[in-house]
Amino acid sequence: MNPTVLAVASEIYPLVKTGGLADVAGALPLALTELGLEVKSLMPAYRPVLAKLGDAPVAEVLAIPDLFGGPARLLATRQAGLDLLLLDAPHLFDRPGGPYITETGQDHPDNWARFAALGKAAALVAGGAVEGFQPNILHAHDWQAGLAPVYLAFSGARRVKSLLTIHNLAFQGAFGAEIFPKLGLPRTAWSLEGVEYYGSVGFLKGGLHAADVVTTVSPTYAEEILTKEGGMGLDGLLHGRGDRLVGIVNGIDTEAWNPATDPDLPARFTIDALNQRGLNKRALEAEFGLASDDGPIFCVVSRLTWQKGMDVLAEAVDDIVASGVRLAIFGSGDRMIEGAFLAAHGRHPQRVGVKIGYDEALAHRIQGGADAILIPSRFEPCGLTQLCGLRYGCVPVVSRVGGLADTVINANYAAVISNVATGAIFAPVTAKSLHDAVVRVAELYRQPALWQAMQKRGMATDVSWTASASRYADLYRDLLKEEAS
Ligand SMILES: Nc1ncnc2c1ncn2[C@@H]1O[C@H](COP(=O)(O)OP(=O)(O)O[C@H]2O[C@H](CO)[C@@H](O)[C@H](O)[C@H]2O)[C@@H](O)[C@H]1O
């Protein structure tokens, strides 16, 4: 049986994005479609999403008279090659602020209802509520879609198999027990096998139990979340899933991230015309106000948070500068960390360039001009920026965690002499070991033949979705076979 997939996510690039989840939810369906699968993606019709639709034809395909306190409908449309179902529920989604937080940075107080509504709508679609579309696979992403497999399981629609993908176990969607009666789930769902989680309602927890298969975004992260340190309280449950927990690394959209055609780059380049990259580096120096010299520029494109180890980088900045390299730091997040980087810029105006903000085009210009990208994450389910770095000849320097360890080949002695290294891996995540890694990589940079070979190997690495999308398709097929047998 060919899989027909309903993908459910709270953010999808290019419609709305707060992080890597949106990239995956935007790119995986396209890769699956290339493999011949039918995929529709369900997401909330946030105010800016509706504003972005422009002239695209939109059809109402389902009316839901009361969905958590107001009327809702599903709108079918196409955007950026994606077949979309938008959950239009104005009382939940037509408001200012981001997908999860208000304009003043607080969680929307009714997030439980907003994302329960997403899960409920997904189960309705899986149950055949949209004429002409009967999925046999429901693929939910992260806690915001965590209740989709739960509603599905309790709806009795056993013909549809479900997967839940964990993009980040740190976000679990836990809410007070008082919301349970409002979820419309049977009483039996208030249990260890249901949504009950240490006396509260756990959206992710419920989904991890209810889904037929749980996946996460790299094999190493799939192992890490089985440990006490990495499991964030869910390791016991995940252990219980046995071989129903699978790690599949992410890819990136290699059309959007193509240095040969990238409209955002001052100079486009290829493996065979790598010297063109130098123009981007000069432009980057100018953009970040860095002194021009023949040493390397290490960059950051990241949420500036504890997860990403950005506080550790802030601690290491002075030593890194003392070793002769320059830094171009871009991102936003934790105010303290932003402040620490701005202060470092104050101390070393021409050695540390800092920009606070969010800008896709600038992310491309940085990856296309810097020599190396620093990713000192404390944990990293997969990571996408190291994949972009590989593709753009921006050598990744990463901590040995999660998907970072799975996608970069460390330039240790053996890897260097056998010509397989694509970057550098360090551990533990401390200022000292990060600094040591920077020094080690800067030494490699000073050996141009070796360095260029490493850049080229990175650029030749397959970071597309092709292989991973096939693995998801195989998983779907295996699940459907179980159903048939
Ligand atoms: N200031 C800025 N301006 C422009 N673009 C910026 C930016 N800061 C970050 N980005 C972009 O946002 C994305 C972030 O990707 P990450 O893999 O770091 O995801 P994140 O930690 O959000 O998500 C979680 O989900 C993803 C997807 O599964 C996992 O890879 C990851 O490990 C997990 O933590 C990248 O596309 C990056 O280029």
Domain ranges in the chain are 4-251+466-484, 274-460
Supply φ then ψ for residue 303, to 5 degrees. -65, 135
DSSP classification of residue 388: H
- Is 17 within any annotated ligand binding site? yes
Predicted confidence at residue 485, as pLDDT, reads 61
Determine if ligand 1 sits within 6 Å of the CB of residue 378.
no
CATH no. for 4-251+466-484: 3.40.50.2000
Determine if ligand 1 sits within 6 Å of the CB of residue 220.
no
- Which ligand 1 atom is the nearest neighbour of the CA of 303? 8
The region that residue 481 occupies, defined by phi over 0 for left and psi between -120 and 50 for alpha, beta otherwise, is alpha
Distance 81 CA to ligand 1 centre (A): 21
Predicted confidence at residue 156, as pLDDT, reads 77
d(CA 470, CA 473): 5
To test the ligand 1 pocket, which listed residue (214, 224, 301, 310) has its Cβ within 8 A of the most ligand atoms? 301
d(CA 83, CA 78): 5
Same fold, 4-251+466-484 and 274-460: yes
DSSP code string of 30-77: HHHHHTT-EEEEEEE--HHHHHHTTT---EEEEEES-SSSS-EEEEEE
Q: What is the pTM of this model?
A: 0.96
Determine if ligand 1 sits within 6 Å of the CB of residue 360.
yes
Residues 6+ apart with CB under 8 A from 121: 42, 64, 67, 72, 74, 87
Longest dimension (CA), the chain: 67
Give yes or no for a contact between 203 and 173, defined as CB atoms under 8 angstroms apart. Answer: yes
To test the ligand 1 pocket, which listed residue (385, 390, 391) has its Cβ within 8 A of the most ligand atoms? 385
Give yes or no for a contact between 274 and 243, defined as CB atoms under 8 angstroms apart. Answer: no
CATH 3.40.50.2000 fits 274-460, yes or no: yes
Predicted confidence at residue 484, as pLDDT, reads 65
d(CA 51, CA 16): 11
Determine if ligand 1 sits within 6 Å of the CB of residue 393.
no
What is the mean pLDDT for each group of 10 consecutive residues in the chain (485 residues)? 95 95 97 97 97 92 98 97 98 97 96 98 97 97 98 87 97 97 97 94 98 98 97 95 96 96 98 96 98 96 97 98 97 97 98 97 98 98 98 98 98 94 98 98 97 98 97 97 75
| ipTM value for the complex | 0.98
Predicted confidence at residue 55, as pLDDT, reads 87
Predicted confidence at residue 229, as pLDDT, reads 94
